[in-house]
Amino acid sequence: MKITRVRVRSSAGPYSVVAGVGVIGHAAREIAHLGHFSSLHIVSSPKVWRAAGKTVERGLRLSHRKTLHLFNDAESAKHLGAVEHIARSLCQAGADRKSLIIAVGGGVVGDVAGFAAASYLRGVALVHIPTTLVAQVDSSIGGKTGVNLPEGKNLVGAFYPPRLVITDPDLLGTLADREFRGGLAEVVKHAVISDAPLFARLEKDLDRILRRDREALGSLIARNVQIKARVVSRDERESGLREILNFGHTFAHALESATLYRRYQHGEAVAWGMMAAAFLGYELKVTPAPDVSRIISLVCRLEPLPPWPSLSPAVLLDAMRSDKKSRSGVLRFVLSVRIGRARTFDSVPQQAVERVLRFTPRLIAAAGGRFGVSK
């Protein structure tokens, strides 16, 4: 078994991401290295626990008292009420400051459980065991936690790094095809912003990856963990370099919030957002045309995606202004200057954004993508 161990720096001290096929079987040993805990509390969702619970329990061969806390992990349920539900459940179970919370699930579970861990008794230890591709390559690494408000996505939260992340591709075995393809959008994002050879590898091997070839998937996840860890270690609180991880996300978050988090899984919105960002880069003479073509072509291979909503550009622009990345209502976008490199652009002309919002779904449909504008 090949295990990749990646060290992540944070203000609270370094932690490790341990990634590899079958590593969940060594979860107890990895957690034991963290020290003694008075009790262990697993936070997950009913759906995730039915799929992965037995595997996780076998890996957590610990002598601690274990308590299971379940909540709805739909994006539309990612709100402060979910955090309160978990906090009260922890209180009722007798969790104290020496307890350990283990988040088992995808991005919503990680975000909500992470925020609960940051808030409960002003902070208790946290371990992530991500069970979706997007969580394994992205959201479980870096310490960002939070929940949505009606006004926008992830507007309430905290930077709270875990003590450990255990990432096993075998936990993706029961992942729905739609969620798997959505997770690959974050993989494409990492390649666009930071790794041109990885982008070329995706162009060559995407069909094999979509078949979930064990060897290809294991090495792909390990590489993405390294990319994410490198970025967040250099910029933990998103004051500079880390912003490049938001490539496509200004559009994506607007699409999610404007459709009340019910149309798209996060990766699907990111896929649309990356294509829109590529077009915006071309519109602003930032992204070369050949690179735009390659980005669009690769993302389109992740289809089918839910269609672009039949909303006016004005509605989506309002949603963008509520995004946490805006500054005093000024829109900011991460754009690719070439495949493998990206940076943030301030004060992007609103007219350019409106054109992209109006024409992106039509251009994709004309290019042969099996998605367009909803009716």
Which residues have a catalytic role annotated? 122, 144, 186, 228, 238, 242, 246, 249, 253, 266
Q: Could you give the angle at the alpha carbon of 292 between the alpha carbons of 286 and 296, nearest 5°?
A: 145
Taking the C-alpha atoms of residue 145 and residue 22, their distance in angstroms, rounded to an integer, is 27
**Phi-psi region for residue 124, left (φ > 0), alpha (ψ -120 to 50) or beta?**
beta
Taking the C-alpha atoms of residue 209 and residue 177, their distance in angstroms, rounded to an integer, is 12
SS (H, E, C) the chain: CCCEEEEECCCCCCEEEEECCCHHHHHHHHHHCCCCCCCEEEEECHHHHHHHHHHHHHHCCCCCCEEEEECCCCHHHCCHHHHHHHHHHHHHCCCCCCCEEEEEECHHHHHHHHHHHHHHHHCCEEEEEECCHHHHHHHCCCCEEEEEECCEEEEEEEECCCCEEEECHHHHCCCCHHHHHHHHHHHHHHHHHHCHHHHHHHHHHHHHHHCCCHHHHHHHHHHHHHHHHHHHHHCCCCCCHHHHHHCCHHHHHHHHHHCCCCCCCHHHHHHHHHHHHHHHHHHCCCCCHHHHHHHHHHHHCCCCCCCECCCCHHHHHHHHHCCCCCECCECCEEEEEECCEEEEECCCCHHHHHHHHHHHHHHHHHCCCCCCECC
How do 66-70 and 40-44 pair as beta strands? parallel
CA-nearest of 102, 174, 130 to 18 is 130
